[in-house]
Amino acid sequence: MPILNREHGAEQPYWPLGPFQVRLPLIHYRLEMPEVIQGLIMFVVGLAMIPLLETYLGMPYEAALAFTFIAGLGYILPSLLGVPLVPGWITPAIPVVLLYLKGFEPGPEAIKAMFALQLEVTLIFLFLGVTRLGSKLVDVIPNSLKSGIIIGAGIAALMGELKTGGRIDSTPISLLLGAIISAYILFSLSFKNVVNASPLAKRIANFGMIPGMVIAMVIGWTSGEYATPNIEWGITQPDFALMWQYLTFTVGFPGWDVFLLAIPTAVIAYVIAFGDIIVGFTLVKRIDHLRADEKIDGSVDRVHLVTALRNLLHAFLAPWPGLAGPLWTAAHATVAERYAMGRKAMDSIYSGGGSFWVTGFVALFILPLVTLFKPVLPIALSLTLILTAYICIMVGMEQLKNPTERGVAGIVAVTLAMPDPKSTVYAVAIGLILYFLIERPKLFGKHAPEDEVIFADGAEESPAKERAEVS
């Protein structure tokens, strides 16, 4: 039990620190055993960035492994500083980032390019967090554009796995079975009925995507799709001295031309990350009304500031092709599902996310775990992308209120998912144009809430009436 306990209906205890709310494990929140166990396995997803670091930044495994320890510290920051989301990468932006990195020679040039990109992402988040424009964007951006970005990011993540030459080609058995099992446990209505009737099923549900991931790994090993691990014993010893040779302090800082080249990719990454923020808080709102015992402070500005700090940490100490994102969608959905089961299942939304990543960081030091999962790092990344795709599409569709919004969002989503590095820019531009031309009852000037929307079939619907019905 924690030293400080929450009163019914209040916020989880914290120490105020400027715009942040500091919460420490065992002092401000208890450790949740299901999340502790998940952290001991799911930390492998963080290790899945190692192959990308080796390929695109040209560093050896030992230096890339040291980078994951810096990332592990960054994962702890959100729950430590008062963000109720489980953090991760800007996962759907990875294909765009890799396309950007392909323009540079692996080694010093690619490291400089990655530094420039990560620093620009830092500045975007920092500016929007300090000025509090980040929270205003949630209300200002049209609903169809927000939903279209979320859906399109999900489609792009899924197509990256399903395309010819993708992971589905080389490891079809383990990937398909792992994805099916994980999706069934996380999202199936029939499994939820089984959970209500079976204590065993309830225990399985507590572990989220772990059962599917473990089964996928076992199938991968037994079927020969992945090599058998060579397990080593002891404590992981990351080579920070070698890591230093792959930082900008050693290889040098990029020129202004590299910073200019990185701007479009940085903007694209933020737009996708903004969609992640919307998804994260949407998931929180879906379960918040079920828990009257805790008041959750959903500060979008704080999310921006913490994400800026994480990207700043990466830029100087571990340039990261996945970037530092506000949400790990699949893990956050698992925590949210358990949180909805009541206070006995999970004391606080912060205790869930905090337990998960504190344990995940500790797991990095357990050498048998690191070497056990080393051969199957790709399957962890693939399952995360597939489940992220499902959640993005589900949440994006859920936010659309009428056929007009659904039509515009569909066009935005398809444009965003196109295999073109500028597809996100095109998607945003098309979404804004279609919003003004199609959705607004009046093309110019303000329109009253009671203005009616006329659909193609001749039916009329008042936005004010629709909002009343939804509420």
464 to each of 50, 212, 401, 461, how far by Cα in Å? 51, 44, 12, 9
> Do both 248 and 218 map to the same domain?
no
CB 308 within 8 A of CB 266: no
What does the H/E/C string look like for 131-146? CCHHHHHHHHCCHHHH
Would residue 448 count as lying in a domain? no
CA diameter of the chain: 71
Angle at 318 between CA 377 and CA 107, to 5 degrees: 85
Secondary structure element (H or E) that encloses residue 453, with its range: strand 453-454
Q: Token pair 């019914």 is at which residue? A: 8
- CA angle 308/313/319 to nearest 5° reads 105
pLDDT on residue 464: 42
* pLDDT for res 304: 94
- Domain shared by 317 and 413, yes or no: yes
Q: Is residue 469 part of a domain?
A: no
304 in any annotated domain: yes
pLDDT at position 324 = 94
Is residue 299 located within the same domain as residue 153? yes
- What does the pLDDT read at residue 134? 76
Residue at a domain's end among 182, 199, 225: 225
> Is there a single domain that holds both residue 58 and residue 158?
yes
In a domain, 177, yes or no: yes
Residues 324 and 212 in one domain: no
Question: How much is the pLDDT for 87?
Answer: 93
pTM of the model: 0.80
Q: What is the DSSP letter of 92?
A: G
Q: How far is CA 217 from the centre of its chain?
A: 22
Residue 184: inside a domain: yes
Domain enclosing residue 181, as ranges:
172-225
Total structural domains in the chain? 2
Of the candidates 182, 200, 225, which is a domain's last residue?
A: 225
Show Cβ contacts of residue 135 under 8 Å, excluding neighbours closer than 6 positions: 299, 300, 301
Domain co-membership, 303 together with 410: yes
For residue 85, give the 3-state DSSP assignment. Answer: coil
Specify whether the CB–CB gap between 149 and 395 falls below 8 A.
Answer: no
CA–CA gap between residue 408 and residue 293 (Å, rounded): 39
Q: Which long-range contacts (CB under 8 A, 24 or more apart) does 4-11 make?
A: 4/28, 6/293, 6/294, 6/347, 6/348, 8/292, 8/293, 9/292, 9/293, 9/294, 9/295, 10/294, 10/295, 11/294, 11/295, 11/296, 11/297
Residues 154, 191 within the same domain = no
Q: Which residues contact 411 (CB under 8 A, 6 or more apart)?
A: 148, 430, 431, 434
pLDDT at 265: 80
Angle between helices 210-223 and 33-42 (to 10 degrees): 30
Q: For each successive 10 residues of the chain (471 residues), what is the average pLDDT?
A: 83 92 92 89 86 90 93 94 92 79 90 95 94 76 83 82 75 87 86 84 77 88 87 90 93 91 84 83 85 88 95 95 89 86 89 93 92 84 82 83 90 84 76 88 61 48 42 35
Q: Does residue 230 fall inside a structural domain?
A: no
The CA-to-CA distance between both ends of the chain, in Å, stands at: 37
Domain-embedded: residue 256: yes
Are residue 282 and residue 336 in the same domain, yes or no?
A: yes
Same domain, 319 and 259: yes
Same-domain check for residues 189 and 155:
no
Q: Are residues 311 and 272 in the same domain?
A: yes
Q: Is 323 helix (H, G, I), strand (E, B) or coil?
A: coil
- What is residue 469's predicted lDDT score, i.e. its pLDDT? 41
Q: Which helix (H) or strand (E) holds 210?
A: helix 210-223
Assigned domain for 5 exists: no
Give residue for tokens 């010893």.
237
For residue 13, give both structure tokens. Answer: 């205890």
3-state secondary structure of 29: strand
Q: How far apart are CA 327 and CA 395, in angstroms?
A: 14
Is residue 39 within 8 A of residue 363, CB to CB? The reply is yes
- 216 with 144, same domain: the answer is no
Q: What is the bridge-based pairing of β-strands 15-17 and 460-461?
A: unpaired
